Structure 1
Amino acid sequence: MSYKEKYASWTNSQLIDSQTKKELLELTDEKAIEDRFYKDLEFGTGGLRGIIGAGTNRMNVYTVGKATQGLAQYLLNTYGDTATVAIAHDSRNMSTEFSETAARVLSANGIKVYLYESLRPTPVLSFTVRHLDCKAGIVITASHNPKQYNGYKVYGEDGGQVTDKAAKEILSYIEAIQDFSEIKKVSFEEGKKNGKIEIIGENVDKVYIDKVKGLTVREDLVKEHARDLKIIYTPIHGSGNIPVRRVLKELGYTNLTVVKEQELPDGNFPTAPYPNPEDPKVFNIALNMAKEIQPDIIFGTDPDCDRIGVVVKTNTGEYKVLTGNQTGVLLTHYMITSMKEMNKLANDSVIIKTIVTTEMANKIADAYGIEYMDVLTGFKYIGEKIKEFEQNRNHTYLFGFEESYGYLAGNFVRDKDAVIASMLICEMTLYYKSKGKTLYEALMNLYKTYGCFKEQLVSIELQGKEGQEKIAKAIDYLRNSLDYKAEGLNVIRKSDYKLSKEYDIKNAKESDIKLPKSNVLKFRFEDGSWFVVRPSGTEPKMKVYLSVTGQSIEDSEAKMDEFKNRIMELIDKACNI
């Protein structure tokens, strides 16, 4: 069916509400109509994510209903009448409506639903699936995307995002739905009345909060000195406000100031159009407050509270926003050394990170005799490893992180968790403060010991159908047609995760990559620098990850400038082949 035929089917359907039809009929730009209908919003391994609006390529109650009907049929086929589902949502526009739509569809299919009465962080949903022994979970969120977006993430019975295999099976059920009339739905009140929709809240929150507090490493230090730490926190209009502050307050971190302008949930994100702690601009108000308060630490969580950004005080008295990699290596070092000192470190402990994350963590783990593992980009792969460790009993998960500001300790959550991370970051800052050091000084000491690693991410946004085609062609060129000699590149190794092959170019050898297949390429150079290129799984972007190592901060910055210019010239050429 062409995009024009799909458009006509929506505007003429008796199953589409009048407001949605009005939105579509008011469209005058043919390109806008094409973009809304040239494809169905893709259900990938992370579920759905897209711009809110009418159309098959948009987030709306119809696309959410269709995805949920497919999920319901998958669950009934897989688990029968034992299937139960937990649902949560964040502060985004339409999140409540989408979560209730999902609950209504599941309920109509005879599946019991546990629905949170108000917004909750994504990691709380992950915990809830495990705690209530559900077969699946849904969280309505678009994480850190701008206000125009929302999303629909699906979790498996282990509390991790669904695996590639399960996602493909769910997708097959979704694609089999030919008409909206096939989507079963009852009213929200009827679902509650017949017991298929159960509202949950504090009864689960308390268990989660207690487990988070149980991850405290230096219990005596926190108990005696938590009140001495000065903190500024911003929830960036999201779901972290209550759980983050509750955990910290119950542990004794009473000297906390919240950024009032960003405290309350608001899907329009009025003070942060891009509500991402990776973007330093979200901390502008907090940094203004810091002039008077002089905090030891500033941090902010994204709308669904799975990512956290950290701001530290430098030796010159200024405040600096750390990268996700910098926070990650600080936490990696702190967890290893503190757990070892407190006799809590298992002999088979493992650190896990993604293939695009700093390799400084590898050097730290090596220095302490701790095993480390690389997984594909996406925290679900870290969650899969935790599940594997439990089943095989061959490793103990210690800590995992990814460069995009996601961290996790403990095994009761199977996704990145900014509630847990905020607690550990406060404890780590308190520990260094007790030693007369700032977190920034601790980072500088790590650089002196392990080298000045510097990483950078470049996101190339290519909208629409043409953009997707350009991304595909660019990656195909880099995979199959790139001539290293002609480009003057001293590449010594190429890792092709789609083909599961690693090519040792220097020694003309080939080996297998024992990870799931993914459309990702990684190129390593003689001086230890590397870059990775991959299409984004959730946005119309191609992502390029760059890494260099220098003798000093100035040296690594100079190397990065030169390396970035060279690689981006290559990427630009690939995009315009």
Structure 2
Amino acid sequence: MIQFGTGGWRAFIGEEFTKDNVRLVAQALSNIMINEQVQDKGFVIGFDRRFLSDKAGKWFAEVVAANGIKVSFIDKFVPTPIVMFQTKEMGCIYSACITASHNPADYNGVKVFIEGGRDADEIITQKIEQQIAHLTQQDVNALEFEEAVTAGKIEIINPMNAFVDSIIDFIDIESIKKANLRVLIDPMFGVAKNALQTVLINGRCDVDVINDGENPAFGGLMPSPSAATLYRLKHLVAHEGYDIGIGTDGDADRLGIIDEKGNFIHPNEVLILLYYYLLEYKGWKGSVVRNIATTHLLDKVAADHGEKCFEVPVGFKHISSQMEADDSLIGGESSGGLTIRGHIKGKDGVFASSLLVEMISVTGKKLSEMLDEIYAKYGYAYTAEGDCTFKPAEKEALYNKIYVEKQLPEFEYEIEKVSYEDGAKVYFKNGGWVIARFSGTEPLLRIFAEMEDKPTAEKVLNEMKAFLSL
């Protein structure tokens, strides 16, 4: 059964991620475009470096083209943000990228984007699922890829330069040129290197790259930038004199940052750094949007500058929608995705990394110094994270415990309120919080806790984790 979660459709290669199912998704989306009479707007397709991604991109294109929709096909692996950028540039109503983002190597999938280059919302993904439910393979139209190219139904494009130029035009490239920074990039065998390295070399940075090359197994690691997976980046930055280490996930929409001392900067801190920098140093104005599992220190930074902080459910589509509604300055999530007003409406690890390099160039301060400045003003908060795995048969019992019976541990901290908008989130009167929610992409129960220090946050996290363990 093909189901779309917060990050699109993801499935095991060879089990659910198959040629037949990829074509079903493509036919369903084609039907929607025809029904909405937007097939004349064209369709952008891109793919990442995962096993079968290039072939699956062609399978998808063959179906869309056979339905009379002009396809703009990016024939080299690219960051997902480039597909979103090109969707916006071409005025397409729909587009897709073959990727499973940061999932393990044996997954692949499809991300669908809508007008403006945003993640498809639930209304669209439900339409796709409903279409698929009524389709068989006999309903799928398809052309041979080369035949469709020859007939002009598929156009080969390469928007890399335009995307890179858009970032260079956005950031303060002249300040970066003067800073003479040393930068180490870890694309985690994903797709970020070409775009990010080009931006930074334009800024006269001394750039080195590790973990690049063709490796569908991602070197045996999850292609998700974290303190654990970026251990080599941490070591090299600390011992070889780099100003910053930049890690990006499999499709380059998320980032993980290492400071000049070799310390991992949590994505929460990255978001705080950039929002604070834009308000305090650049004098920009605007609210911030965070998801329900992201640090509340953003609320303090916003309030101190007379701005609002909006909380939305997990899924970047909710962030981009709220940003559009309030013309927010920045939006992001604790998993490492963010964007800025004026750029694309989806998360972009290449752009966010470039902006961080601008920040340390303009301020003349090291990453650790910028964080110290922020914590001196707003206080410290630590976010602890943990996952509970469960078997499919156990999900109903967990769901009932959380949502129906609404059971909670006996916390020693006074509770202000509990929200069930997206998972179960407990807000404590001391400003801390803990949330448990089902992952939209994997069979996991994700738990986050933010408190005034690491021991307290981990204590609250473990209490929730133990309570929900089956």
TM-score computed with the length of structure 2 as normaliser? 0.95
Once the 2 structures are TM-superposed, how far is the Cα of residue 478 of structure 1 from its aligned partner?
2.5
CA–CA separation in structure 2 for the residues paired with 1:373 and 1:566: 28
Distance 1:523 1:485, change over 3 A: closer
Task: Tell me if structure 2 keeps the 8 A contact 1:215–1:410.
Answer: no
Once the 2 structures are TM-superposed, how far is the Cα of residue 493 of structure 1 from its aligned partner?
0.4
The alignment status of 1:269 with 2:166, answered yes or no, reads no
The alignment status of 1:355 with 2:292, answered yes or no, reads yes
Task: Tell me if structure 2 keeps the 8 A contact 1:301–1:309.
Answer: yes
CA–CA separation in structure 1 for the residues paired with 2:166 and 2:368: 29
| Per-residue CA distance 1:530-550 (angstroms, 9 max, x = gap) | 11121111111111111112x
Task: Tell me if structure 1 keeps the 8 A contact 2:177–2:204.
Answer: yes
Q: Which of 161, 165, 168 is matched with 2:126 structurally? A: 168
1:208 aligns to what?
Answer: 163
Once the 2 structures are TM-superposed, how far is the Cα of residue 140 of structure 1 from its aligned partner?
0.7
1:300 aligns to what?
Answer: 247
Question: Runs of 5+ in structure 2 lacking a partner?
Answer: none
CA–CA separation in structure 1 for the residues paired with 2:34 and 2:123: 17
Q: SS where residue 459 of structure 1 aligns?
A: strand
1:243 aligns to what?
Answer: 195
Once the 2 structures are TM-superposed, how far is the Cα of residue 479 of structure 1 from its aligned partner?
2.9
CA–CA separation in structure 1 for the residues paired with 2:76 and 2:399: 42
2:431 aligns to what?
Answer: 528
- Structure 1 residues 126-525: aligned runs within 5 Å: 126-177=84-135, 179-201=136-158, 204-217=159-172, 220-225=174-179, 228-253=180-205, 255-259=206-210, 262-270=211-219, 272-278=220-226, 280-290=227-237, 292-314=239-261, 319-340=262-283, 345-346=284-285, 349-388=286-325, 395-432=326-363, 434=364, 437-463=365-391, 465-466=392-393, 470-482=394-406, 490-497=414-421, 519-525=422-428
Q: Specify the code of the residue in structure 2 equivalent to 1:401.
A: G
1:515 aligns to what?
Answer: none
Once the 2 structures are TM-superposed, how far is the Cα of residue 488 of structure 1 from its aligned partner?
6.4
Once the 2 structures are TM-superposed, how far is the Cα of residue 287 of structure 1 from its aligned partner?
3.5
RMSD, aligned α-carbons: 1.9
Once the 2 structures are TM-superposed, how far is the Cα of residue 109 of structure 1 from its aligned partner?
0.9
Q: SS where residue 79 of structure 1 aligns?
A: coil
| Per-residue CA distance 1:248-269 (angstroms, 9 max, x = gap) | 111222x11111xx12242121
CA–CA separation in structure 1 for the residues paired with 2:56 and 2:63: 11
CA–CA separation in structure 2 for the residues paired with 1:547 and 1:471: 25
1:18 aligns to what?
Answer: none
Q: SS where residue 77 of structure 2 aligns?
A: coil
CA–CA separation in structure 2 for the residues paired with 1:222 and 1:483: 52
Q: Specify the code of the residue in structure 2 equivalent to 1:334.
A: Y
Q: SS where residue 56 of structure 2 aligns?
A: helix
CA–CA separation in structure 1 for the residues paired with 2:30 and 2:174: 48
Once the 2 structures are TM-superposed, how far is the Cα of residue 484 of structure 1 from its aligned partner?
5.9
Q: Percent identity between the aligned chains? A: 26
The structure whose RCO (Cα within 8 Å, separation 6+) is larger is 2
Q: SS where residue 119 of structure 2 aligns?
A: coil
Q: SS where residue 458 of structure 2 aligns?
A: helix
Task: Tell me if structure 2 keeps the 8 A contact 1:216–1:424.
Answer: yes
Task: Tell me if structure 1 keeps the 8 A contact 2:43–2:95.
Answer: yes
Once the 2 structures are TM-superposed, how far is the Cα of residue 291 of structure 1 from its aligned partner?
5.5
Once the 2 structures are TM-superposed, how far is the Cα of residue 353 of structure 1 from its aligned partner?
1.1
Q: Which of 432, 440, 443 is matched with 1:540 structurally? A: 443
Once the 2 structures are TM-superposed, how far is the Cα of residue 296 of structure 1 from its aligned partner?
1.1
Q: Specify the code of the residue in structure 1 equivalent to 2:74.
A: Y
Task: Tell me if structure 2 keeps the 8 A contact 1:297–1:429.
Answer: no
Q: SS where residue 170 of structure 2 aligns?
A: coil
1:74 aligns to what?
Answer: 32
| Per-residue CA distance 1:213-234 (angstroms, 9 max, x = gap) | 12214x5522422xx2111111
| Per-residue CA distance 1:461-510 (angstroms, 9 max, x = gap) | 224x32xxx2332232223324569776733201121xxxxxxxxxxxxx
Q: Specify the code of the residue in structure 1 equivalent to 2:360.
A: T
Distance 1:166 1:529, change over 3 A: same
Task: Tell me if structure 2 keeps the 8 A contact 1:407–1:418.
Answer: yes
2:64 aligns to what?
Answer: 106
Task: Tell me if structure 2 keeps the 8 A contact 1:123–1:306.
Answer: yes
CA–CA separation in structure 1 for the residues paired with 2:178 and 2:43: 41
CA–CA separation in structure 2 for the residues paired with 1:533 and 1:252: 44
Task: Tell me if structure 2 keeps the 8 A contact 1:471–1:542.
Answer: no
CA–CA separation in structure 2 for the residues paired with 1:99 and 1:485: 47
CA–CA separation in structure 1 for the residues paired with 2:93 and 2:407: 49
1:47 aligns to what?
Answer: 8
CA–CA separation in structure 1 for the residues paired with 2:7 and 2:223: 20
Once the 2 structures are TM-superposed, how far is the Cα of residue 447 of structure 1 from its aligned partner?
1.6
User: Structure 1 stretch 480-489 or stretch 441-450: which is displaced more?
Assistant: 480-489
CA–CA separation in structure 2 for the residues paired with 1:543 and 1:486: 19
| Per-residue CA distance 1:13-53 (angstroms, 9 max, x = gap) | xxxxxxxxxxxxxxxxxxxxxxxxxxx13134543101101
Distance 1:141 1:565, change over 3 A: same
CA–CA separation in structure 1 for the residues paired with 2:304 and 2:382: 20
Once the 2 structures are TM-superposed, how far is the Cα of residue 80 of structure 1 from its aligned partner?
4.8
Once the 2 structures are TM-superposed, how far is the Cα of residue 355 of structure 1 from its aligned partner?
1.4
CA–CA separation in structure 2 for the residues paired with 1:91 and 1:571: 37
Task: Tell me if structure 1 keeps the 8 A contact 2:2–2:129.
Answer: no
2:79 aligns to what?
Answer: 121
Once the 2 structures are TM-superposed, how far is the Cα of residue 308 of structure 1 from its aligned partner?
0.7
Task: Tell me if structure 2 keeps the 8 A contact 1:46–1:162.
Answer: no
Task: Tell me if structure 1 keeps the 8 A contact 2:116–2:344.
Answer: no
CA–CA separation in structure 1 for the residues paired with 2:409 and 2:87: 52
Distance 1:484 1:115, change over 3 A: closer
CA–CA separation in structure 2 for the residues paired with 1:488 and 1:321: 30
Task: Tell me if structure 1 keeps the 8 A contact 2:409–2:463.
Answer: no
Once the 2 structures are TM-superposed, how far is the Cα of residue 429 of structure 1 from its aligned partner?
2.2
* Number of equivalences: 470
Larger radius of gyration: 1
Task: Tell me if structure 2 keeps the 8 A contact 1:239–1:265.
Answer: no
Q: SS where residue 281 of structure 1 aligns?
A: coil
Task: Tell me if structure 2 keeps the 8 A contact 1:154–1:161.
Answer: yes
| Per-residue CA distance 1:89-131 (angstroms, 9 max, x = gap) | 1110010111100000111111111010100101111111111
TM-score computed with the length of structure 1 as normaliser? 0.78
